[in-house]
Structure 1
Amino acid sequence: MRRFLALVIAVTLACTLVPALGSGSARAAAGPCIGAPPADGTAYAETRQFIDTQAWWMPDVDQANNSTTNTGHVHMGACIPERETLNSGNITVNVRVILHDNPGTANYVAMVFKNSESETTVQKCYLRATAPDFSCPGPGKSGEGDFVCTGTCERWLTFSRPISAFKHSGLQEVRFRGFVPEPDGNTMQTNLNFQVNIQNGKSVSDTERNAFLRSKGWYTHALYCESSLRSVPLPDGPVSGIWAPEVGLTTHPGGSRPASHSFISIDPDFHAIPSNPGTVLWDSAGPYGAEPFGAAPIAIDTRTLANGVHKLHLRTSCRDNKLGSTNSGVTVIPFTVAN
Structure 2
Amino acid sequence: MNTENDFRRLMGRLRLRHLALLDLLGKDPNVGRAAKTMHMAQPTASKLLREIEDIFETVLFTRNRRGLTPTPAGKVLARRASILLAEIQATHTELRSALNGGTGHLRLGVFPVGVTEVLPQLYAALQNKWPGLTIEIEEAVETRLLDQLSEGKIDCILGRIVMENLTPDLRHEALYNEPTVIVCSTRHPLLAANAQERVQILRNTHWMLPARHGAVYNMVASKLAALGIKAPQVEVETTSVFVTIELLNHTTLLSILPKKVALAYAELNKVALAPQGDLESNYPVGIMYRAEALSNPIINLVLETVRAMSGSIAADHPPA
Give the TM-score normalised by structure 2: 0.23
TM-score, normalised relative to structure 1: 0.22
Which structure has the larger Rg? 2
Which has a greater percent of helix? 2
Greater share of residues in strand: 1
